[in-house]
Structure 1
Amino acid sequence: MTPTPSRAVALYGTEEQVPPPRLLTAGPLSAELEAGNLRDIRFAGAEVLRAVSYIVRDKDWGTYSPTLDALEVQQEPDRFVVTYRARVAEPGQAFAYEARIEGRADGTLTFTGSGAAETPFLTNRTGFVILHPIAGVAGGPVTLTHVDGRQVEGRFPDLIDPVQPMMDLRALEHVSPEGHRVHCLMEGDTFEMEDQRNWTDASYKTYVRPLALPWPYELEPGARLEQKITLRITGAAGAATRAEGVTLDLGREAGRMPALGMGLDPGDAAAALTCADPLRALGPAHLLCHHDPRRGHDRASLQAQLDVAQALGAEPWLEAVIAATDDAGAEAEVTALGATVAGLGAPFATVLLSPAPDLKCTLPGSVWPEAPDAAALAQVARQAFPGARLGGGMFSYFTELNRKRPPVDALDLVSFTTSAMVHAGDDRSVMESLEALPAIARSAAEIARPLPFAVGPSAMGMRANPYGAAPKDNPDNIRQAMNFNDPRQRGLLGAAWTLGALAQFATGGAEAVALGAPVGAFGAVHVPTRFPQPWYDDHGGLYPLFHPLRGLARLRGQPLRRVDSSDPARVLGLAVGTPGETEIWLANLTADPVRLHLPQGARQMACLSAAEFAEAAEDPGFLDRLAPVPDAGISLDAYSVLRLLGAF
């Protein structure tokens, strides 16, 4: 019998231990202290801010992990005070700072940061970042105080804003969903806001130093940065409470279950063929075959990917990067690629094209790099790929799609990808990213109108980095932002996130969703790799996310309904099928067990939790093993996936 992995590996794919945050309280005010910064700031139990952080970023927008020293915490019933020293460093440069945090029972919170570079220090951002929640806030009113003292009335964006919705800021004030008035004063520099839902963060971010200023910029040794955030919370609203369990009901109809696909890198084609049997059982509807001539891809690499698609029974889609940056060169390149594809038998029913410059970010206010005209490129593609459905958009993230809109009149389909760890890599931030996906779906539908939109290939990790040289290789198998190979892809957390992402995009109207890859860093099935895969390197098998992908891929085209969760931050899902025979798929998005209150009609169930990890890794049909729903109800363990059948 295959041994069961440790609970840490089953849940997260890594033995890395993460210290729990420290809860700070001052009467009704509370916050969690995590690595010197504040998260989950609440008043009378209700969230008022998602985070206040003092961060230091490198020239590629990566965030340093500071080394803390002399940390002291004073905790009294009506007051807390935190002080510490911190330092970040890499070969050739270092920056040190001191912080002081104070919270009072009257709803006042201050966070002061004072620091200086020890050497010339190159950075894209150093200073405070404030995260405002989106639930109950999106589309709502806010009072802005500008640096010159002017006050104006505004609104938090509803559809996702491609540029900064609020600039030249000194203070913001809004009313929380629970009725608390939240006033945030930001001193020491000019602040502005971006809509972080662009990157699937569940927040609006107010940050230091306008993006219109040059970056990266150099901090001179000894020159001090002095900044301060003051939060004042007022209002006599009642205390927020969380129910013991989560109640689930079937919501409104949401169209049809979309086609579920995967993405394939040519470098993984040979390994994918070694796993053809379980991957065929997974049943992806389509396989995005990647082609980038800058990486040496050619006819042979296309054929290798087509062989995988045929072995899996998946429809091949072409995802082609166009390297030429001028119109004439791009026309010649697309024409030549069309001839190559015709020589392979014209197997691609859908062709997606992207100019190479669009794979990198262009910040608001920056000069767009030279690139071929998108509409002209589409016209050439019509001739090069006759009969194929033509897609455009971005192979990078929704952010780039939102900032550079495709010529929908020249296309048949609009596409983009997502990643859950552009800005943060901790478990909570990864799961919170699911909150932003409905807004991304609504915004993408508006951009694509009247065309359909497709998502992917998407995953928790980053397959490419539009904001720097490359994603992080992660040889130490840890949680961190911008990971290429993230350990949680192989854990139950990865399965829960995948099901949550699929539920949000499916009910959000996506025509097709591609999540992950057959094998590799974003894979569903284990193969040997250059990075560590605890337990799997000894036993092999299927990753937990294989099972919800397989189960839902089989339901393509069936009627789709939302599942209304009383607490979607804890349990998320979707329902597929007819009223007489419906499948409900649910995921626990947290590290704690959750008691479920199910709708009437549930008859049978199958569950994948840490206890069944080893069995599920060996059996593609594991979630076909149905059992009666127990009369005592269901408690869903950490990051577990549940399949329910019944007449709902």
Structure 2
Amino acid sequence: MQFGHSNLNISDNFLLLGRNTPPPEQIHLQAGPVSVVYEDGALRSFFLNGTEVLRMIYHAVRDPDWNTVIPDLKPEQFEKLADRFAILYTATYKGYGIEFEAGISFRGEKDGSITCSMKGLALNTFQKNRIGFCILHPVHTCMGKEVLIGHTDGTIEKSVFPVLVSPHQPFFDIAFMEYKPEKDLMARIDFEGDVFETEDQRNWTDASYKTYSTPLALPFPVTMNRGTVIEQNVRFSLAKISQKIFFQSSAKQPVHINLTKQTTPFPAIGLLQSSRYPTLSESECSLLKKLKIDHLRVDLSFVEKSWKEKFSEANLTAKQLNVPLFLSLAFSDHPENDAASFIEICGALSPKIDSVLIVDEGTKVSNSEWFAPARKLFKEKLNNVSVGAGTNAYFAEFNRNKPFPGEADFIAWSVNPQVHAFDYLTLVENLQAQADTVISARTFQPGIPLWVTPVTLKPRFNPVATRTEKPGINYPSPPDPRQMSLFTAGWLVGSLKYLAEAGASKITFFETTGEKGLIQGPENSLWPADFPSLGGMIFPVFFVLNELLRYSQGRVMKTMVSQPDSVSALTLLDGFKNVLVLASHTPKVINVLLPFPVTECSVRILDLPFCRNNMFSRGTLPDLPVQVCRPDKGVLELQPFTVVFFEIPS
């Protein structure tokens, strides 16, 4: 095992953020009373009177497999005045066989209107699924509210933003839309250049409704011949304001934390079998056993020739960790043969299996026709094992393929925050949508256990690819270097918070070892330039999970946060020492008003110095040091990307 201590080569920025350079600059702008933020070619965080009226407007190019082509941006004009702005840049998209260039402009006026324009040119002949503006409407503002949809034929329809996660598009054929983010405040968006429609992005755990073009009912992919020109315009305006307007202050107020009386059981937490290392070393096993996880998940596809070998390796790992296996089985076109082969090898391996998720390899969801006989067989042959239905992919696949098999012992789906966007703020904003999937799933069959498994930082595969996946072209892609950062440790706290508060009973977080896991494993990273982890390195997500699992026999108290994009707050109760966990999601110091009166208390802090000093095991695993905290009038200064565990006064 390569335990090199050249960790000084890993910068502080990398341990904090998973990158050596700071994130793209956020520039605050005003269009009259509307405040917005410009970041990396997009406008986001449209606020008026303290209310988020629109989440984001950005331009997207997506290939036939729905991969997003990342543009190179060349600024042309940037004008920022007190009550208006003008931005012009050239975006060049090259990737996945696509070469496309667009001039994109954003213009904000003092009446609160913002016009977004795009004129693009195909530089080669290629196929695409989408080219155009995407408009995100925040769920927390719009959910359940009326919206007027103006259609391209001149008719107007009254509708409502969905409360439960809508499996299909709620709005079609949009020329304009009007809705009230708040009482006496009407926002309007006009669209030109294509036909737009809206989808509920919570299907992929994005915390927004997205209005986009071209309609998915039309055939895709579409061939774009070289020289083809595309033009679009999107205009945001305030159609009605009958309340007093005040300008949004750039100075944020302290984050307020409120404890409720609503509690749920702490969910069972497991890990995903490593996709890089088939087995564990003695030291890795020792570290991971300290977590006392509930299960080890392994995904087996019967269309892969190596499934038996993979099963055998996972069985050995589970025995090393002394935990049961949770198997996700993807059946081929011959499910009877698959089931028989699986039972046969179980007889040879004698695995300890706790639960089985059954899906179809082609559709990625459970097949209602053969689920019941497969469940009966597994119950008989595998000691009454729990057999679940759902999907190996996103909530969308399951939500769009109801009803699910009624005899299931549980239902399951996976989560990752990067289906549509990849920036830091989006990953944090999307945390809240994880709860919405659980709340919606609860209505499918009340009382059935809900399992969210696995939770990963990046997609494990592409379930909507229209072409055959090819390594290095579609998937597998390099891991996200943020896996080894404190940012992801805080993101895990937020994920556990929203899933547990909503009632998820079992969650699988990340892989055991490797670049997608909790610890690096015996060898240095395969991507040393972009993911500079060293053999034996312990990632911050390990330390935070080790602390959280101390409360695995307790309950989770629903906790409200006034600025969830800055801080996640998780309250854990075990009957002895209750704890408030605060995770910072920003590079700035955040003032947090604690929900209880305290002048002095004990805290444990996961921060940069601790992670740097303990990124390699020295034979014993250190606990987070206990420190004395003295909040100033109940206000705590939360340092960037730290996770703080407060003992709640009794």
* TM-score where L is the length of structure 2: 0.90
1:419 matched to 2:442? The reply is: no
Cα distance in structure 2, aligned partners of 1:131 and 1:433: 12
Deviation at 1:17, TM superposition (A): 4.6
Task: Indicate the SS of the match to 2:539.
Answer: coil
Name the structure 2 match of 1:643: 645
Task: Indicate the SS of the match to 1:466.
Answer: coil
Letter in 2 for 1:530: L
Change (3 A) 1:630 1:540: farther
Task: Indicate the SS of the match to 1:168.
Answer: strand
Deviation at 1:46, TM superposition (A): 3.6
Letter in 2 for 1:144: I
Deviation at 1:492, TM superposition (A): 0.4
1:193 matched to 2:163? The reply is: no
Cα distance in structure 1, aligned partners of 2:472 and 2:606: 29
CA contact (8 A) 2:274 2:513 kept: no
Change (3 A) 1:506 1:142: same
Unaligned runs of 5+ in 2: none
Change (3 A) 1:269 1:177: farther
Deviation at 1:523, TM superposition (A): 0.5
CA contact (8 A) 1:272 1:519 kept: no
1:259 matched to 2:268? The reply is: yes
Name the structure 1 match of 2:544: 548
CA contact (8 A) 2:16 2:608 kept: yes
Match of 1:172 among 152, 160, 177: 177
1:597 matched to 2:606? The reply is: no
> C-alpha deviations, 1:295-343, integer Å up to 9, x for none?
3334443232122122223222122221x22xxx201211220221133
Farther-moved stretch of structure 1 (259-268 vs 507-516): 259-268
Name the structure 2 match of 1:627: 627
Cα distance in structure 1, aligned partners of 2:78 and 2:384: 67
Cα distance in structure 2, aligned partners of 1:283 and 1:530: 29
Change (3 A) 1:372 1:267: farther
1:407 matched to 2:404? The reply is: yes
Deviation at 1:473, TM superposition (A): 6.4
RMSD value, Cα: 2.8
1:222 matched to 2:227? The reply is: yes
Name the structure 1 match of 2:286: 277
CA contact (8 A) 2:53 2:141 kept: no
Change (3 A) 1:19 1:301: closer
Letter in 1 for 2:643: V
CA contact (8 A) 1:142 1:154 kept: yes
CA contact (8 A) 1:455 1:514 kept: yes
CA contact (8 A) 1:173 1:181 kept: yes
1:80 matched to 2:89? The reply is: no
Farther-moved stretch of structure 1 (64-73 vs 118-127): 64-73
Cα distance in structure 2, aligned partners of 1:98 and 1:266: 41
Change (3 A) 1:263 1:129: same
Cα distance in structure 2, aligned partners of 1:448 and 1:267: 37
Name the structure 1 match of 2:461: 464
> C-alpha deviations, 1:441-491, integer Å up to 9, x for none?
1012222433101111111212222133669969xxxxx999651011110
Letter in 1 for 2:27: R
* TM-score where L is the length of structure 1: 0.90
Q: How does 1:125-524 map to 2 (within 5 A)?
A: 125-177=130-182, 179-233=184-238, 234-235=240-241, 236-239=243-246, 240=248, 243-265=252-274, 267-271=276-280, 275-322=284-331, 324-325=332-333, 329-359=334-364, 373-405=370-402, 407-468=404-465, 485-524=479-518
Letter in 2 for 1:336: S
Cα distance in structure 1, aligned partners of 2:335 and 2:624: 49
Cα distance in structure 2, aligned partners of 1:255 and 1:371: 31
Name the structure 2 match of 1:609: 607
Change (3 A) 1:132 1:623: farther
1:104 matched to 2:109? The reply is: yes
Farther-moved stretch of structure 1 (614-623 vs 29-38): 614-623
Unaligned runs of 5+ in 1: 361-367, 475-479
Cα distance in structure 1, aligned partners of 2:557 and 2:85: 47
Letter in 1 for 2:87: V
CA contact (8 A) 1:463 1:484 kept: no
Change (3 A) 1:271 1:216: farther
Farther-moved stretch of structure 1 (403-412 vs 439-448): 403-412
Deviation at 1:512, TM superposition (A): 0.7
Cα distance in structure 2, aligned partners of 1:525 and 1:343: 31
Name the structure 2 match of 1:559: 555
Deviation at 1:555, TM superposition (A): 1.9
Change (3 A) 1:70 1:432: closer
Deviation at 1:601, TM superposition (A): 6.7
Task: Indicate the SS of the match to 1:421.
Answer: coil
Deviation at 1:44, TM superposition (A): 4.7
CA contact (8 A) 1:415 1:456 kept: yes
Q: Percent identity?
A: 26
Change (3 A) 1:471 1:282: farther
Task: Indicate the SS of the match to 2:511.
Answer: coil
> C-alpha deviations, 1:94-150, integer Å up to 9, x for none?
222222321101011111112232322210001111111111311111111111111
CA contact (8 A) 1:472 1:484 kept: no
Farther-moved stretch of structure 1 (206-215 vs 332-341): 332-341
1:588 matched to 2:551? The reply is: no
Change (3 A) 1:521 1:348: same
Task: Indicate the SS of the match to 2:463.
Answer: coil
Q: How many residue pairs are counted as aligned between the two chains?
A: 631
Deviation at 1:409, TM superposition (A): 1.9
Cα distance in structure 1, aligned partners of 2:21 and 2:475: 15
Letter in 2 for 1:630: R
CA contact (8 A) 2:83 2:109 kept: yes
Letter in 2 for 1:134: V
Deviation at 1:541, TM superposition (A): 2.5
Cα distance in structure 2, aligned partners of 1:22 and 1:625: 38
Cα distance in structure 2, aligned partners of 1:338 and 1:493: 42
Change (3 A) 1:278 1:296: same
